[in-house]
Structure 1
Amino acid sequence: MSPLLKIRAERDQMSAIERRIADFILDNAHLLRDYSSQQLADALQISQSSVVKFSQKLGFKGYPDLKYGIGESIAHHRAQESTAPRTAADPFAASAEALWRRKQEAESETRLINPPAQIRAVAAALTAATQVFVTGLGEDAPQAQALALRLALLDIRASCPGDAFVVSAALSGAARNDVLLVLCEHGRQPALAQLGRELRARGGKLVSVTRHSANPLRSQADLALLVSAHDERAHVEPLLYRAALQHLLDVLYLELCETRRDALARLQANAERLRRLLES
């Protein structure tokens, strides 16, 4: 596991000072080589010993080893992006190959921070629910709709009302074991947080799917799934996030298919029914 991924994975279990160090490193990883432990401590207005202890807690001998490991990780990513051959026949081949590798890395990191027990817990909550409400705003909406359809094909009573006001109205009939599954990249949509509070007040469960960062939606969720997708380029990072998010949802879907009784038979029957509907 790369040092940066290790920091992201363990951030939520860190103390307040450790989180400050972690956030600074994650936001300034490419500049870290210019910082000594004392300079980093001064920038954060903490003691140098706090920086050293932070490094050792992550399994490094000290801050220099942590800094070296982060530098090696960044250099490895950049080397991979620069080694893909460019051909005269297809000048975009290298860019496409580099993007594919970065998507694979994002999917791998996302898999590491979502242990199988957490995937199974979410699948169990969906299976036990009388109703599942799936929602997402903006770019999260299409994947929320697709997930709701897949759940419905498995005979899980799922819907994707879409608009937050419609979801709120639908939740008025929610039962104690119902689930609201919210896709929200940054977890900071006040309307979605309010929907979560409404369902939890009725005894239901909130499942959040957000970036692997501290955010209000994740903090109030009963179960949280996390997406790790990071890139310095603003136009690339959203592409990595969508790919990693889709892979995470696909893994959840596979868990449901392979553990629910008669799931595949139900899926086949429902898919056939939809096929006849489309062809009529």
Structure 2
Amino acid sequence: MPPLIKIRSERDQMSAIERRIADFILENAHLLRDYSSQQLASALGISQSSVVKFAQKFGFKGYPDLKFSIGEAVARLGGVEPPTPLAANAEADVFVRIESGLRRSKAAAEEETRAINPRQNLEEIAELIDQAGKVFVCGLGDDGLYAREFAMRLSLLGVLTVHHADPILMMANLSAARPGDVLLVFSEFGKLATLSQISRQFQAASGKVVSITRHTANPLRAHADAALVVSAHDSEPHVEALLYRSSLQYLLDFLFVLLCHVNDDRHRQLNINLERIQHLLDS
């Protein structure tokens, strides 16, 4: 996993000093090559040993290895984009800055989300869903909107889907769970005790639980049989929320397309259902 993505994804579990180091690196990755461990420590008002320990925590022998790895990552991404004449002329244009900033942030969040969900993991989850007798789908609040849409898409593929936005109704329906069934649980932060309880009950019936959360340590993800994770980080909370939704949608869209290709019968059923729906709309 690229070092910047790993640092960003684990920031919430860091100590106060580690977060200061992480924030400096994330905000100044393109300048890190000019900083020695002592200079970085001095800039942050911490000890040099704290910088070294931070690097070792992420699997590097020391700070030079971390710096080199981050330098390579920045180079692969093309470094810092040089300002274009248009950007220079529009520097004071709030509209342009907001639009271009949001576009770049969404693209970066989706790329990070792609990187932290390895191919093998996605293929295994697609196989679980494809082979399941029934797929239960649950999510509350904003998560419920994405849960409902994905449940509908699974139904179009011919997957027998049980969807509820009400945790009490979902708990009642768990009596129909059988070995091999799958539960998809949508929860951005993965800390809702109700969803964890539903997951445990489902696993007690020998079903498989797939969590969909942020790429952070959380109870729901920790106890799930498989996990889809989303990367979304920004200093502005309202922008961060948009990045999460954008990255989550990308991840679900890719999983849906993957399901269309792993089973030809599913793909044919999708086309049949789409034709039926179009016929209803035209009648």
- Residue 98 of structure 1 deviates from its aligned partner by 1.7
CA distance in 2, matches of 1:190, 1:77: 42
Q: Does 1:269 align with 2:272?
A: yes
Q: Which residue of 1 aligns with 2:7?
A: 7
Query: What are the ranges of 5 or more consecutive residues in structure 2 without an aligned counterpart?
Result: none
1:34-113 maps to which residues of 2 (within 5 A)? 36=41, 40=46, 50-51=53-54, 53-54=56-57, 57=60, 60-61=63-64, 65=67, 84=87, 92-113=95-116
Quickly say closer, same or farther: Cα 1:40–1:278, change in 2 above 3 A. Answer: farther
2:227 match: 224
| Equivalent position of 2:132 in the other structure | 129
Corresponding residue of 1:155: 158
Corresponding residue for residue 171 of structure 1? 174
**Pairwise CA distance, 1:96:** 1.6
SS of equivalent to 1:188: coil
Separation in 2 of the partners of 1:122 and 1:233? 32
- CA change 1:276–1:68 in 2 (3 A) is closer
Unaligned runs of 5+ in 1: 13-17
Name the structure 2 match of 1:15.
none
- Check whether the contact 1:56–1:62 (CA below 8 A) recurs between aligned residues: no
Q: Report the AA paired with residue 36 of structure 1.
A: A
Instruction: Report if aligned partners of 1:55, 1:62 keep a CA contact under 8 Å in 2.
Output: no
Measured at CA, do residues 55 and 213 of structure 1 come closer, stay the same or move farther in structure 2, by a change above 3 Å? closer
Q: 2: distance between equivalents of 1:248 and 1:224?
A: 12
Specify the SS of the correspondent of 1:92: helix
CA distance in 1 between counterparts of 2:61 and 2:273 reads 49
TM-score (norm 2): 0.79
Judge conservation of contact 2:18–2:54 (CA < 8 Å) in 1. no
The residue identity in structure 2 corresponding to 1:57 is F
Determine the structure 1 residue equivalent to 2:248.
Answer: 245
RMSD of equivalent CA atoms = 3.6
